[in-house]
Chains A and B, each alone.
Chain A
Amino acid sequence: MNPEVEILLIAVVTSVACAMPGVFLVLRRLALVSDAITHAILPGIVVAFFLTGSLTSPLLVVAAAATGVLSVVLIEAVHRTRLVAEDAATGLVFPAFFSLGVVLVTRWAGKVHLDTDSVLLGELAFAPFDRFVVGGADLGPVALWMMSGILLLNLALIVVVSKELKLATLDPALAAVLGFSPVVLHYLLMTAVSVTAVGAFSAAGSILVVALMIAPPAAAYLLVENFRPMLVVSAVLAALGAVGGYGLARWLDVSIAGSMAVVCGLIFAGAFTFGPERGLVSQFRRRSAQRVEFAARLLAVHLLHHEGTEREDVECAVSNLNVHLGWSEPAVGRAVAFIVARGMTVDKGGVLHLTEAGRRFAEDLTAGVAQPGSV
């Protein structure tokens, strides 16, 4: 296989593998656990690397993932003492783990091929150099095999305990009552996050794993309303982020991992701005539609109020409405257009008259408000 295709494949697989546990993290308000775990695995990686001499050995994955889970246990233990709040507990534990890892790396720098930059930042471009060779046959890059394995594990986890995880995620109390231990499910998820973070860090770097875990699910959360679609959309967006990020990195000749994070961020920004139901634009549209509708109601009541009075020709003249109602001219125009288009008023020589439907509409609105006691 062409190295470029291999890099792209690794990027896509890594990205999708990160997004799967990410969906649960976002829904369970545990997003920053990914930040904590990706930092806390560092000492585990360093020690295991000293022992095994390889960044892709299964032992390293196990040891480093264990450190990640340990950090979660420690955060919860510190929080349980009730001496510090949960956010502070997180902010205390993972920097300690990470510092320990950095000190270990720098103290033994030169003796091993591992430096803090590569752990923190990752370099996908080097991934194809590490080949998976069985009996002399080259089966492709180790990273691709490893991340595919982790992706399959995550998918298997979701398929097997999806119902339970969903229940524990959306209604933890009910899950506990029904006898599914939330603790076991929680640690299963934390283990999945740790293993994924360890597998992904050499490709993406520890901080960018956070982007891959949070951004696609957060974007999907703004696009769909159900759990299963959210998983699927997250996976699709994650793959898009990987492909887009790789393209951007190739085009500008910059860090692949950084570009992937940026593109994932852009995808989120897109969902945040243009999401069909929840995006900023549709929020704005909905709000202005409501504003026009409300203005049209007021206008209908205004017309009813002056109907048949002497000053009707003045009060209900389109040209005077901006003064009488205190609205801007365009606002008057929008309200008039709305109410005329719905057949509630007719414009006779610049003066508005309610139709039969409009009169009923306005009377309904004022019922119980205008005449006290009429209910």
Chain B
Amino acid sequence: MEIFGDWTLRVVALGAGLLGAVSGFLGSFAVLRRQSLLGDALSHAALPGIALAFLITGSKATVPILVGAAVTGWVGTLVVRLIVQRSRVPYDAALGLVLSVFFGLGLVLLTVIQKRPDAAQAGLETYLFGQAAALLRADVIVMAVVAAVVLLVLMLAWKEMKVLTFDRAYGESMGLPMARLDGLVTALLVVTIVLGLQTVGVVLMSAMIVAPGAAARQWTRRLGSMVTVAAGIGVAAGVSGAVLSSVVPRLPTGPTIVLILSGVVGMSLLMAPERGLVWRRLQLGRLRRRPRQEPVLMHLHALSLQHPDDPEHGHEVSVLRTMNPPDTDVEGALTALAERGLAGADGEGLWAPTELGRREAARTLARLDLEDAR
């Protein structure tokens, strides 16, 4: 395709794709650990850092600005933790408080900057919604390095990450460095979010973290494949969003990527096999249509108990029909039981439970007794 020959577009697409990959990796863990909204607070808390870095250095160079953003973002997470530990203000209120107050501070600093006579400040607002077209080759290299580090950490500490995600107390009891790993993951999340600010912006970076993981979760029940699928979704959404917003005039990058991601999440919630809503509806219908075998088996068992000397004494279908509600598909249930080897008919069409069927029924009865006793 011709557009991929475009150097700028290639850089932009590569950058957004890398960002999507890292977001998918780390976002999977954030989603599983119920930290989805931490990213929201963190990215908003980065705004004053961006403005402060500009005020101190007086330039829009990427690295100092990202360092500033990372510092205030990290301070934001510390403040959230301090508030939750030292007061009765709940976690969600602490997040909202830090998010909005830090953002307000950032806004105040931005207006301070706007008053400065030099015109160099133009463009700091792009951090609000991201501007992928402004990505430079150096930015992409930084992203690639971060992606490599994240991947390396995940590979080296894979089982520790698993324990941290699903059973932290167990990990601590085994003497694994859970607190240090938690700190490391949070630090990597801060770095990822800060990197994303240029592309997606302060306001929407949280969606970049949450959406790939939430979508991937629907397609698999294994952590390894979830992380891989999430990274794949992140890459696809990042590249297509960046390309679209570069090709179509006046289409901001961040919102475009987020809308694509939202579409993917919606599709996953509906369509994913085993978990998706459509799939579950189909499954429910199949269960409803299937004749209920258990009551019929229990009735056969009850009948056979009437004949202690001949447990396989056969009974007519009509007998069973009188024992069940009128709309029961008794024949269907009997056929299904016969298929499973739990019941059988003799040559005259008289039904009796097999040895296996009687044992199965007795087991069910024992279980029901146990439940009653409880």
A is bound by B: yes
Residues of A participating in the B interface, judged by any CB pair closer than 8 Å: 25-26, 29-32, 34-35, 39, 78, 81, 83-85, 87-88, 90-92, 95-96, 98-100, 102-103, 106-107, 109, 116-117, 120-121, 205, 207-208, 210-211, 213-215, 218, 221-222, 249, 252-255, 257-262, 264-265, 268, 272, 278, 280, 283
Contact A222:B88 (CB < 8 A) given known A31-B96, A90-B37? yes
**Complex interface: stretch among B52-60, B109-117, B364-372:** B109-117
Residue of A29, A34, A120, A252 most packed against chain B (CB within 10 A): A120
Say if the beta carbon of B324 comes within 8 Å of chain A. Answer: no
Report A-chain residues with C-beta under 8 Å of the C-beta of B128: 116-117, 120
Taking CB atoms, residues of chain A closer than 8 Å to B40 are 32, 35, 91
The binding surface of chain A is classed by DSSP as helix
Instruction: Chain A residues near B86: list those with CB within 8 A.
Output: 272, 280, 283
Q: Do B250 and A31 touch across chains, with their CB atoms under 8 A apart?
A: no
> How far apart sit A258 and B203, CA to CA, in the bound complex (Å)?
16
On whether the beta carbons of A255 and B110 are closer than 8 Å, the reply is yes
Say which one of B10-18, B161-169, B206-214, B225-233 lies at the interface with A. B206-214
User: Which of A85, A210, A272 lies in contact with B83, CB distance below 8 A?
Assistant: A272
Is the beta-carbon distance between B258 and A96 smaller than 8 angstroms?
yes
A4 shortest CB reach to chain B, Å: 18
Q: Are A262 and B108 in contact (CB under 8 A)?
A: yes
Query: Number of contacts between A and B (CB, 8 Å)?
Result: 203
Of A88, A98, A109, most buried by chain B (CB within 10 Å of CB) is A88
Best-surrounded residue of B40, B214, B255 (most CB of chain A within 10 A): B255
Q: Mark B81-100, 1 if CB is under 8 A from A, else 0.
A: 00100111110111111011
B39 proximity list for chain A (CB < 8 A)? 91
Write out the residue numbers on chain A whose beta carbons fall within 8 Å of the beta carbon of B90.
Answer: 26, 29, 31
Is B148's CB within 8 Å of the partner chain A?
no
CB <8 Å contact, B107 and A257? yes
Q: Which residues of A contact B254 (CB under 8 A)?
A: 99, 102
Chain A residues with CB under 8 Å of B252's CB are 102-103, 106
Residues of chain B within 8 A of A214, CB atoms compared = 93, 96-97, 100
CA distance A202 to B40 in the complex (A): 22
Extra 19 A-B pairs, beta carbons < 8 Å, given A29-B90, A98-B258, A254-B112:
A30-B92, A31-B92, A35-B100, A85-B31, A88-B36, A92-B211, A95-B211, A96-B262, A98-B255, A102-B254, A103-B255, A106-B255, A207-B99, A208-B100, A210-B100, A211-B103, A222-B89, A261-B104, A261-B107
Q: Return B160 CB to nearest CB of chain A, in Å.
A: 23
Q: How far is the CA of A124 from the CA of B35 in the complex (A)?
A: 34
Cross-chain contact of B104 among A106, A218, A262 (Cβ < 8 A):
A262
With both beta carbons as reference points, the residue of chain A lying nearest to B207 in the complex is identified as A95
Supposing A88-B214, A272-B83 touch, asked if A207 and B44 sit within 8 A by C-beta, the answer is: yes
Residues of B at under 8 Å CB distance from A? 31, 34-37, 39-40, 44, 83, 86-90, 92-97, 99-108, 110-112, 115, 125, 128-129, 203-204, 206-207, 209-211, 213-214, 217-218, 250-252, 254-256, 258-259, 262, 265, 269, 275-277
- Are B37 and A87 in contact, with the CB atoms below 8 A? yes
The answer on a CB contact under 8 Å between B104 and A260 is yes
Tell me which residues across on chain B come within 8 A of A95, comparing CB atoms.
Answer: 203-204, 206-207, 211, 258, 262
How many angstroms between the C-alpha atoms of A88 and B277 in the bound complex? 17
Say whether B107 contacts A121, CB under 8 Å: yes
In the bound complex, residues from chain B placing their C-beta under 8 Å from that of A116 are 128-129
* Chain B residues with CB below 8 A from A99, complex form: 204, 207, 254-256, 258-259, 262
Say whether B259 contacts A96, CB under 8 Å. Answer: yes
The answer to whether A100 touches B259 (Cβ under 8 A) is yes
- Chain B residues whose CB sits within 8 angstroms of the CB of A121 once the complex forms: 107
Question: Are B34 and A85 interface neighbours, CB within 8 A?
Answer: yes
Contact call B115/A81, Cβ cutoff below 8 A = no
Given A83-B275, A106-B251, A211-B101: A222 and B36 within 8 A (CB)? Answer: no
Q: Is the CB of A109 within 8 A of B250?
A: yes
A-B contact pairs, 26 of them (CB 8 A): A25-B93, A26-B93, A83-B277, A85-B34, A87-B34, A91-B210, A98-B258, A99-B262, A102-B129, A103-B251, A103-B255, A120-B203, A207-B100, A207-B103, A207-B104, A215-B100, A222-B88, A249-B108, A254-B111, A258-B105, A258-B110, A261-B100, A262-B101, A268-B97, A272-B83, A272-B87
| 5 A-B pairs with least C-beta separation | A261-B104, A265-B101, A258-B107, A95-B207, A211-B100
For the complex, what is the distance from the CA of A254 to the CA of B128, rounded to whole Å? 18
Q: Which chain B residue has the least Cβ–Cβ distance from A261? A: B104
* A32/B104 contact (C-beta < 8 A), A91-B207, A218-B97 known: no
A254: chain B residues within 8 A (beta carbon):
108, 111-112
Complex alpha-carbon distance, A81 and B270, angstroms? 10
List residues of chain B with CB within 8 A of the CB of A102.
129, 252, 254-255
Q: Least Cβ distance of A95 to chain B in Å?
A: 3
Query: A272–B84 Cα gap in the complex (Å)?
Result: 11
When chains A and B are docked, how far (Å) is the Cα of A88 from the Cα of B33?
10
Q: Are B103 and A208 in contact (CB under 8 A)?
A: yes
CB distance from B262 to the nearest CB of A (A): 4
Q: How far is the CA of A68 from the CA of B118 in the complex (A)?
A: 40
Cβ-defined partner of B36 (8 Å) among A78, A90, A258: A90
State whether B210 touches A211 (Cβ < 8 A).
no
Chain A residues whose C-beta falls within 8 Å of the C-beta of B277 in the assembled complex:
81, 83
Q: Which residues of A contact B115 (CB under 8 A)?
A: 253
Residues of B within 8 A of A222 (CB): 87-89
> Which of B103, B111, B209, B265 meets A261, CB within 8 Å?
B103
* A255 and B107 in contact, given A85-B31, A210-B99, A268-B97 (Cβ under 8 angstroms): yes
A280 to B277, CA, bound (A): 48
List A contacts of B250 (CB < 8 A): 106-107, 109
A84 in complex: contacting residue of B96, B103, B206, B214, CB < 8 Å: B214
Distance between Cα atoms of A266 and B297 in the complex (Å): 71
Closest CB of chain B to A265's CB: distance in Å?
Answer: 3
